[in-house]
Amino acid sequence: MSKVLIVDDEDFIRDMIGDVLELSGYTYIKAANGGEGIALLKSDREISLVLLDFTLPDISGELFVKRMNQEGIAVPVAVLSGLSDNFSLFEKEPIVKGTLAKPFRIDELITLVKELLPVP
């Protein structure tokens, strides 16, 4: 079974994304910071997609992706950011499969997830 990891430091955003994913039939887990997100990726082999906030309290989205590469974690990532300028940092990162500018609409989120994961 595929599972989505939501990595965002804002409780409201994590909960909203989780609710939308659940209503769309996806399973998810949440992390409030980069360290927790990397730990979950290392321990849970069912994670098939990471929805990653670019700005976290302990690590940037760019460093999170680099850490994934260093750890040999090849799970696809979609980066979420309020600053679309940040997206250019990921143009040469093969595991970054999509981006979504905040604030986003629910249908935009679901479209992105469906493009990156099979429908449950």
Checking DSSP bridges between strand 77-81 and strand 3-7, what pairing results, if any?
Answer: unpaired
Query: Do residues 47 and 3 make contact, with C-beta atoms less than 8 angstroms apart?
Result: yes
Identify the weakest region by mean pLDDT among 1-5, 65-69, 74-78, 110-114. Answer: 1-5
Q: Does the pLDDT value for residue 1 go beyond 70?
A: no
Domain layout of the chain by residue ranges: 3-116
Higher pLDDT, 86 or 46: 46
Beta-strand pair 47-53/27-31 = unpaired
Q: At what angle do helices 11-23 and 106-116 cross, to 10 degrees?
A: 60
Q: Does domain 3-116 have CATH number 3.40.50.300?
A: no
Per-residue buried b or exposed e for 68-87, using 16+ beta carbons within 10 Å of the residue's own CB: beeeebebebbbbbeeeebb
pLDDT tens digits for 53-94?
999 999 999 999 999 999 999 999 999 988 777 778 788 889
